[in-house]
Amino acid sequence: MARNKTKKVKQEKYRSEEQTEMIRFIRILIIVIILILGIYFFTRIFVTKDLLNKDDEDTEVIEGSINYDRTIIGSMLNKPEDEYYVLIYNSKNLRAIYYSNLITNYLRNKEHLHVYFADLNNELNASFYDPENIKLNVSNISDLKVGDLTLIKVRNGAIADSQTDEEKIANELKYIESEDTEN
């Protein structure tokens, strides 16, 4: 018995040059996508550590707000009003509540000037703090030096008056009870 040997002939797939280039492009595209995803997950797991950390769900987001009554000492002469007060004090001072109450009472007056607050605890105001060498009547704002408590009255973009004594500041910002409030 003679066996017929059949030889399987492997047929080559003939592809055009365009098809070969397209297959090569798709392979490169898949490799790039895998690399980008790998870098993304590596960053989320090891760098930001937020992929596996579920504590972010408990994080409360607080909406920001702008307080237009706060100012920086360097820009206190640039306010839109013609005449106003700037109270410069340290918010960490034990007397800060008293100063805030003083302003609140002053603002109850029927006629009052706008009051801005400049906090010496703010890093942008730190260069103006020098209790040993107070300079209030200056032509250039960068030369201004204040102590622990200062009230400055600004008129037309210039310093019109200034007080550093707590009693004089309290007298300047006193509440005047009007006849309308008694009824």
Does residue 105 sit within a domain? yes
Does residue 99 sit within a domain? yes
User: Do residue 49 and residue 79 come from a single domain?
Assistant: no
Question: Shortest CA distance to 131 belongs to which of 90, 84, 81?
Answer: 90
Does residue 2 sit within a domain? no
Give the model confidence (pLDDT) of 40-95 as tens digits.
988 888 888 777 766 555 667 778 777 788 889 888 888 999 999 999 998 888 88
In the predicted model, is pLDDT for residue 11 greater than 70?
no
In the predicted model, is pLDDT for residue 5 greater than 90?
no
Counting the structural domains of the chain, the total is 2
User: Do residue 77 and residue 158 come from a single domain?
Assistant: yes
CATH of the domain at 126: 3.40.30.10
Q: Hey, which bits of the chain come out as E strands?
A: 83-89, 114-119, 149-155, 158-163
User: Do residue 30 and residue 100 come from a single domain?
Assistant: no
User: Do residue 28 and residue 103 come from a single domain?
Assistant: no
What confidence tier does 39 reach under pLDDT thresholds 50, 70, 90?
A: very high
- C-alpha 128/C-alpha 56 separation (Å) is 40
Q: What are phi and psi of 180, to 5 degrees?
A: -65, -30
Domain that holds residue 146: 73-176
In the predicted model, is pLDDT for residue 180 greater than 70?
no
For 40, the token pair is 């993304």
User: Do residue 144 and residue 112 come from a single domain?
Assistant: yes
Does residue 108 sit within a domain? yes
- C-alpha 170/C-alpha 166 separation (Å) is 6
User: Do residue 79 and residue 161 come from a single domain?
Assistant: yes
User: Do residue 114 and residue 51 come from a single domain?
Assistant: no
Does residue 60 sit within a domain? no
Question: Shortest CA distance to 75 belongs to which of 144, 165, 133, 136?
Answer: 144
User: Do residue 85 and residue 153 come from a single domain?
Assistant: yes
User: Do residue 32 and residue 116 come from a single domain?
Assistant: no
Give the model confidence (pLDDT) of 100-159 as tens digits.
899 999 999 888 899 999 999 889 998 999 988 888 888 888 889 998 899 999 999 889
In the predicted model, is pLDDT for residue 182 greater than 60?
no
pLDDT at 183: 44
